[in-house]
Amino acid sequence: MSKYMFLFRGGSDMQQASPAETQANMMKWKIWMDEIAAKGKLIGGEPLTYDSGKVLSGRAKKVTDGPFAEGKEIVGGYLIVETKDIDEAAELSKGCPIFENDGSVEVRVVMAM
């Protein structure tokens, strides 16, 4: 078994959603994550805010406000799952509600240290 990270990009702009739309969307995510957890494959994960952060870059570690990428590029959250291989991880990601709003899931291997 190996660990994989799902990075969620794009999807609906929840800042523009009504409270009812936000609640319905969050319920879809909860159901999907509960299904992964019931299979014993969910390690953890959290949503990330869209409106604040800092970016440090270069040898001087220059600090700027951010991230200020296009909406479809912003990482909105992550999950870590444990599966037998990357193909199983990718298959689990297909149930993600983000696809209903043209978002994407990047599946990455978590390197064992």
CA-to-CA distance for 30 and 112, rounded, in angstroms?
28
- Report the pLDDT value the prediction gives residue 68, as an integer from 0 to 100: 64
pLDDT tens profile 5-40: 999 998 766 667 889 988 999 999 999 999 999 999
- The pTM (predicted TM-score) of the whole model is 0.85
For residue 48, what pLDDT is reported? 86
Condensed to tens digits (0 to 9), the pLDDT of residues 59-106 reads 999 998 876 666 667 888 999 999 999 999 999 999 999 999 889 999
DSSP-assigned states of every residue in 29-89? HHHHHHHHHHTT-EEEEEE--SS--EEEETTTTEEEE-----GGGSEEEEEEEEESSHHHH
**Of residues 50 and 78, more confidently modeled:** 78
Question: Domains of the chain, with CATH numbers?
Answer: 2-109 (3.30.70.1060)
